[in-house]
Chain A
Amino acid sequence: MYEVLEDFARTNDLREVSTGLKLIIGLSSILLSVSSPGLIAPLLVAVSMSTAILFLAKIPAKVYARLLLIPVTFTLMSITVILFITGGGEVLFEVPGLPLTITTGSVNLAILLLARVFGGMCSLYFIALTTPMTGIFDILRKLRVPAVFIDLAMLTYRFIFILIEEVGEIHRAQEMRLGYGRFRESVQTFGMLSGALFIRTWESGEALVLAMDARCYDGKFDVPDDARPISALSLAAVLIYCFAILSISLSTGGLTLV
């Protein structure tokens, strides 16, 4: 899935838009969803971000739908806990013999959280699907994040793609030799995969050190950035969008479903 997300970030229809602007939209949408006291604002964020992803960036709807299913497991588990442990309001449902109840208060909290997670995830996907990592590195550099952190992140980023290929190859070879037949075997095989992976990565790291030394590496990477200017019009549009969501979030704060 990872290579897919980054692939889309490099080929989508919003790739020419300034990285800074896309990050401002994405991050402020996340903040607005998380801090919203009511469920209308996060849902609006989810709708507008999804619209941007599907119609402006032209990400295929099927891919996007599959992505939205990723967070389901964690969300369902945690929401279940929240449904049963929080109280307040009338009791709607009681587990006989156990101190577990679902109340109107807990239902409202669970729905609010679902809306926030939904809004936040859609905004996160907006960043993930439209903004290539290299653009984000440029922004970090402008924000004066320590150079050693950015260099480390860039090298990590590069190695991730090399490693993914290697993992795929090793995994296929193991699968063909029936390495994942029984449970015991699969743990053994998986350990072998991880061990081989670690040693291979380490060796490619050492090879990279040699290659960089041969090219006069002095502990610093200089990468030309290809920043695009933010037009005043688009910045204004983004600000209007943020204020609209903020005022909706403030005015619909007390609204609950149950």
Chain B
Amino acid sequence: MHIMEGFLPDPWWQIWFLVSLPFIIVGLYRINKLVQEKREVLPLLAVAGAFVFVLSSLKLPSFNGSCSHPTGTGLGAVLFGPCITAVLGLIVLIFQAIFLAHGGITTLGANVFSMGIAGPAVAYLIYKAGTRAGANTYATVFVAAALADLATYVVTSIQLALAFPGATGFVGAFTAFAAIFAVTQIPLAIIEGAVIALVFKYIVQLKPEILTRLNLLSESTIQKLREAAA
């Protein structure tokens, strides 16, 4: 759900840059520390960023024929945590603006907040809560990715409603934006959840060492998941 270049008026695009900035700084600090400890992290983070970019530039299968793209950041958040994902999100959004004309330069701050920060944070929290509660891993990943998508779209609606409250005030404007975007975003969130859960399943089946190395799943959980599939 990218906000186009030129759409956010004057105080708002600067405000969203300021809001996103601390997350980016923390993320950069974390990446710097990680890279100093383990140099091989950098290419792997880059790969994750490129994956998010390519995934989000593919068209998802959808019912209503609308042009819908997955965000892919849910997976990044589950793998690396929200602050690092914010930096990946920033890089991906810059490339999307310059290669694909999705989003823009002035709206970068707002888009980073909705897609790189709010969505991943939701995904991360749900994933953590789910694993702590001992829920089914795939179900947790599905819910995390789907709700991350929904969070992104709710935040975008809030951003637009704050900038254009109109005659009805913030709540009315928010309802209007949320209602019109819901048409494409709710089916999209469900499909994205399913797709990301499938991705997770393939990783568990084919290359589980990625997950154990990032301390996401223990050997025993993976063993259990693989047995359940077999």
Residues of A within 8 A of B95 (CB): 133, 156-157, 160
A120 CB to nearest chain B CB (Å): 3
Q: Chain A binding site: helix, strand, loop or mixed by DSSP?
A: helix
Looking at B116-124, B126-134, B168-176, B221-229, the stretch in contact with chain A turns out to be B168-176
Contact indicator B105/A156 (Cβ below 8 Å): no
- Interface size for B (C-beta < 8 A) is 78
Residues of B within 8 A of A81 (CB): 160, 164, 173, 176-177, 180
Contact indicator A156/B195 (Cβ below 8 Å): no
Residues of chain A in range 123-178 having any CB-CB distance to chain B below 8 Å = 123-125, 127-128, 131, 133, 136, 146, 148-149, 151-153, 155-160, 162-164, 167
- Give Cα distance in the complex from A230 to B5, angstroms: 27
Residues of A within 8 A of B47 (CB): 155, 159, 201-202, 204-205
Q: Which residue of A lies closest to B210 (CB)?
A: A202
- Give Cα distance in the complex from A196 to B195, angstroms: 12
Residues of A within 8 A of B102 (CB): 70
Contact indicator B176/A163 (Cβ below 8 Å): no
Residues of A within 8 A of B212 (CB): none
A13 within 8 Å of B by Cβ? no
A232 within 8 Å of B by Cβ? no
A204 CB to nearest chain B CB (Å): 7
A60 within 8 Å of B by Cβ? no
Residues of A within 8 A of B207 (CB): 199, 202-203
Known: A71-B101, A121-B5, A149-B28. A205 touches B46 (CB 8 A): yes
Residues of chain B in range 191-227 having any CB-CB distance to chain A below 8 Å = 191, 194-203, 206-207, 210
Q: Which residue of B lies closest to A136 (CB)?
A: B98
By size class, the interface of chain A is 35 or more
Residues of chain B in range 109-166 having any CB-CB distance to chain A below 8 Å = 160, 164, 166
Residues of chain A in range 95-136 having any CB-CB distance to chain B below 8 Å = 99, 106, 109, 113, 116-121, 123-125, 127-128, 131, 133, 136
Known contacts A124-B101, A191-B201; 11 additional CB pairs below 8 A are A2-B57, A6-B99, A86-B164, A123-B5, A124-B105, A136-B98, A155-B42, A156-B95, A199-B210, A205-B43, A209-B44
